[in-house]
Amino acid sequence: MSTQGYDDELRSERSYVAGLYARLDAERARVRGEYKAALRGNGETPMERDVRVRALATEARRLDVVDNGLCFGRLDTVSGEHSYIGRIGLFDEENEYEPVLLDWRAPAARGFYVATAATPENMRRRRQFHTRGRQVVDFTDEVLGRPGGDDRGDAALLAAVNAPRGDGMRDIVATIQAEQDEIIRLDHPGVLVVEGGPGTGKTVVALHRVAYLLYTHRERMERHGVLVVGPNPAFLNHIGRVLPSLGESDVVFMTTGDLVPGLRVTAEDPPEAARLKGSLKMLDVLAAAVADRQRLPEYPLPIELADVTVRIDAETAEWAREEARASGLPHNEARAVFGEIVTWVLTERAIGRIGRGWLTREDREAWEELRADLLEELAEDDMFAAALDELWPILTPEALLASLYSSPDRLRAAGADQSLSRARGDAWTVSDIPLLDELVDLLGRDKSADRAAERALERERKTEAEYAAGVMDLLVDRKDSMDDEDHLFATDLLFGEDLADRFGERDTRELVERAAADRDWTYRHVVVDEAQELSEMDWRVLMRRCPGRSFTVVGDLAQRRSAAGATSWDTMLEPYVPGRWVYRSLSVNYRTPAEIMSVAAALLAEFTPAVQPPESVRACGVRPWSRRVTEDELPAAVEEFVRDEATREGTSVVIGPPGMPGGMATVPPSETKGLEFDSVLVVEPARILAGGPRGAAELYVALTRATQRLGVLHHGPLPRPLTGLADIGTPTRQEQPLTRGLPRG
C-alpha cells in the first residue's frame, strides 16, 4: 500500500471507529435512562423491579468497561466483505440490526484468531489496530492465503509481550493465538484440564474461556455465577481486572482458604501435616472423631424429677445411639432421635414407678396424662439437658476440629496421626478448610437453634408489621384532615406494596456478595488455577460447589509445591468425573524470553527430565546474570537492584527463601506463582532448592517470573543447573533479534 493509500485508509478507519464510539455513547445513555426509570418503577412488583434494575446495572457496567480498545481489528473475506472485531457487539438498529462491530466471542469472529497464511479460513486479510484511548494511531495488515505462506507474523502479539508490565494482568482479547482460541471456545460440558509451562498463558486463557462461556450460555450461567480459585490473594489481585475488562462482573474470586465463609487462615502446616490432611483417609478420621463424641455413660446418670429419680444407663444410651446412627441423619440432627429414645425409656420407667399399685396400661387416659407431665418436666430439666449434652453434644465444625488437634487422646481415638497435634487447635491453616467444610455436612445443623432463630424472626416480623400498620393509619388520618384541593398525598406515593417490601426479607446484595458469603452456594462453572497444588480433600470442596461438574482446570505438574498436590490429573479427577474430563496442553511461552527460559530449562531437565519446557516466542536481548557476594554485602546488593529498577518502566520483585537476614524485603517463590514481572532478582537459590522436598519446583517458579531481566545473587556456590549464568556482576545488554520464530497458527 502506498503512503497516500495508507493515510486514506487510516482516516477511513478512524472515522469508522469514531462512529462506533458514538453508538457506544448512545447505548450507554439509553441504558442509564432505562435504569433511572426502573428505579422509579412503573407498576410492576418490587421483585420484578429489582430484577430489572439489576439487569440494567449489569449492562451499564459492561458498557462502561469497554471504552479502551473497543475495536481492535478488521477481518476481510475473499468475497470482499469485512467485519470489525471488538470487545462487545454493536448493531445498526435502523438497518435490521446489522452488526457494525462483532463481539470477539461470536462465531463469525473466530477467523480473526485462527486464520493463517497457510490456512486462511476463507479470509483475505487481517487488520489490527493500534489505539490510544479512542483514537486509532495506526494499523498493520496481514494478507492471508498467499502461496507458500506458512507462519502467522503477529506484530500486535510481539508488542504486547514486550510491553512493560503494569499492576495487574491484561486481557489478550486482541492477540489470542490459535492454540489458545481452540481452548477458549472448546465445547465440553465437563472438566477441561489445561496444562502449560511458565508463560504459556494458561491463566488468561482460562479467564477468556469464562468470558466466552458467559457470552454463549449467559442465561444459564449468570444466575449462579462463576467461581475462580487461585493460589493466594496477590494472584487474585493480579488477575482481577481481566474479566471486568471483558465486560463480565458476576465472578467470585477466592483462594482455597476462603471457601468456608467467615473463617480466617492464620498458620501454615508443615509438609507432612499438609499431606495427611489432604488425603481422603481424613474422611475416616473425621467420621471417627464425630462418633467419638457420641458417648455412653461410664455410670448411670441420675435425673431427679418431682416424684421420682430416673437414670440414663449405658444400655439405654447404646440403644439410643444405634437408632440415631441408623437414621442416616447428620450428627446434630440425629440428636433428636437419640433424645427421643432416651426420653421414651425414662418416661416409661418413671410411669412404672409412680403408678405402681394403682395405674394400669388399660387406663390409657391417665397413662398419657402422666406421660405428658413427665415430658414437660424433662424438657425443662437442666440435669437432663446436661446429660444429653454430655452423651450427644451439639457440635460445630470449628469446635470439633480444634478439640481433635489439641488432644492426643482424641487423635488416637479417631485413628489420626499424632503429627496433627498442635497446642492451639483453632490456629487454622489452608489444609483445615476442606476438613471444616466436610464437617459441615457430617454434623448438619442444630435444629433447635434454627427453631429459636425462626421464632425470633417471626417476633421481629410481627413487630415490624404492627409498625407499618401504624404508619399507614397516621398517613390516612393526615390525608383526611387535608383540603380536597391538596392532590399529592404521602399515601399516593407510598404504595402498600412498597411499604410491605420495606419490612420484607429481600436480599439486595449483588450476586458476588451473596455467593461469597454462602457456604451452600453452587456455581455453574469453576476455574481452578495452579490446580496442581490442590489436595484430594480440596477437590471434594470444589465438587460440592459445582454440582454440574463444569470446570476449567489450569496448572503445571512440574511446578507443584504442595506435598498433598496432584501427581497426575487422572488420580485427582477420575473419581469425580469418570470419562467426563479432557486434557489440552499449551506449548508456547509468551512471557519468558528465550535467554531466561534456557536457564530454567536446565533446572527442569535435572529434577523433571520427562517434562518438555515450553518454547519461547522471543528473545529479549538481555543475558541473565549472577553475582557472588559475601553475607555482609548481600543487603546492599539487593538495595542496589531495587534502586536501579525504580528508574525503569515496569515492575520488579526480589524473590528469596524465607527467613532472610537483615530484614531484607524478599518474597518467597510460593507467593509469586502465576505472577509476572519485568525484572526479577533471585536471592540465594541454593537455599530455595534445599528448602524442602519440592525446593526444585520452587526455584523453577522463581526463575520463570521475569519477562525481560533476570539476576541472581548468591553467597554460597550456585546450584549446578545455574552454573551457566554469566558471572559478571551486572547484566549486560547484547544486541539480538527480538523474535525467535513465532508460533504456528
Specify the CATH number for the domain of residue 529: 3.40.50.300
Cβ atoms of 121 and 111 closer than 8 Å:
yes
C-alpha span between 734 and 729 (Å, rounded): 15
C-alpha span between 245 and 66 (Å, rounded): 6
Q: What is the pTM of this model?
A: 0.84
Q: Are residues 223 and 312 in the same domain?
A: no
Residues in CB range of 208: below 8 A, 6 or more apart: 171, 172, 173, 176, 180, 184, 242, 246
Q: Are residues 582 and 701 in the same domain?
A: no
Number of continuous H segments (helices) and E segments (strands) in the chain: 28, 21
C-alpha span between 527 and 128 (Å, rounded): 30
Residue 414: inside a domain: yes
Residue 680: inside a domain: yes
Angle, alpha carbons 108-114-119 (nearest 5°): 110
Residue 686: inside a domain: yes
Cβ atoms of 213 and 187 closer than 8 Å:
no
Q: Are residues 608 and 667 in the same domain?
A: yes
Q: Are residues 629 and 655 in the same domain?
A: yes
Is residue 691 marked as binding?
no
Domain boundary among 114, 145, 176: 145
Position 107 scores a pLDDT of 94
Cβ atoms of 145 and 120 closer than 8 Å:
yes
Q: Number of structural domains, the chain?
A: 5
C-alpha span between 432 and 291 (Å, rounded): 19
Is residue 202 marked as binding?
yes
Grid coordinates representing 646 are 525504580
- Checking DSSP bridges between strand 581-586 and strand 551-555, what pairing results, if any? unpaired
C-alpha span between 16 and 22 (Å, rounded): 10
C-alpha span between 295 and 274 (Å, rounded): 30
Burial class (CB in 10 A: 0-12, 13-18, 19+), 607: middle
Cβ atoms of 410 and 403 closer than 8 Å:
yes
pLDDT along the chain (745 residues), means of 10: 88 96 95 90 81 86 88 94 94 88 95 86 92 92 70 67 80 89 93 95 95 91 92 92 87 95 93 96 98 96 92 97 97 97 93 75 76 91 95 97 97 97 96 98 77 60 61 56 46 43 60 92 96 97 96 95 94 94 94 93 92 90 93 92 93 90 81 93 95 89 95 93 76 39 36
Q: Are residues 331 and 312 in the same domain?
A: yes
Largest Cα span, the chain: 120
Residue with cell 450461567: 221
Q: Which of 672, 680, 676 is nearest to 654 (CA)?
A: 680
Domain boundary among 505, 528, 554: 505
Cβ atoms of 210 and 226 closer than 8 Å:
yes
Residue 153: inside a domain: no
DSSP 424-443: STT---GGGHHHHHHHHHHH
Grid coordinates representing 526 are 469453576
Position 11 scores a pLDDT of 96
Q: Are residues 413 and 560 in the same domain?
A: no
Q: Which of 156, 207, 117, 174 is nearest to 617 (CA)?
A: 156
Cβ atoms of 130 and 137 closer than 8 Å:
yes
Is residue 149 marked as binding?
no
Position 461 scores a pLDDT of 60
Cβ atoms of 622 and 674 closer than 8 Å:
no
Position 365 scores a pLDDT of 78
Residues in the chain: 745
Position 402 scores a pLDDT of 98
Q: Are residues 603 and 572 in the same domain?
A: no
Q: Are residues 562 and 706 in the same domain?
A: no
Residue 165: inside a domain: no
- Give whole-number Cα distances, 451 to 448, 690, 711, in Å: 5, 56, 63
Position 154 scores a pLDDT of 67
Q: Are residues 313 and 351 in the same domain?
A: yes
Residue with cell 476463507: 122
DSSP 227-256: EEEESSHHHHHHHTTHHHHTT---EEEEEG
Is residue 198 marked as binding?
yes
Residues in CB range of 295: below 8 A, 6 or more apart: 317, 390, 391, 392
- Give whole-number Cα distances, 276 to 283, 285, 535, in Å: 11, 11, 10
Residue with cell 548481600: 634
C-alpha span between 278 and 488 (Å, rounded): 67
Q: Are residues 204 and 230 in the same domain?
A: yes
Outline where 240-354 has alpha helix (H). 242-245, 271-278, 282-292, 314-326, 331-354
Q: Are residues 292 and 433 in the same domain?
A: yes
Cβ atoms of 739 and 620 closer than 8 Å:
no
Residues in CB range of 716: below 8 A, 6 or more apart: 684, 686
Residue 451: inside a domain: yes
DSSP, collapsed to helix, strand or coil, labels residue 371 as helix
C-alpha span between 316 and 340 (Å, rounded): 11
C-alpha span between 617 and 594 (Å, rounded): 8
Is residue 225 marked as binding?
no
Domain boundary among 563, 586, 609: 586
Is residue 271 marked as binding?
no
Domain that holds residue 531: 186-260+519-586
Position 500 scores a pLDDT of 46
C-alpha span between 277 and 166 (Å, rounded): 38
Residue 484: inside a domain: no
Residue with cell 504486547: 160
Residue 229: inside a domain: yes
Q: Are residues 306 and 322 in the same domain?
A: yes
Residue with cell 526479577: 680
Position 53 scores a pLDDT of 87
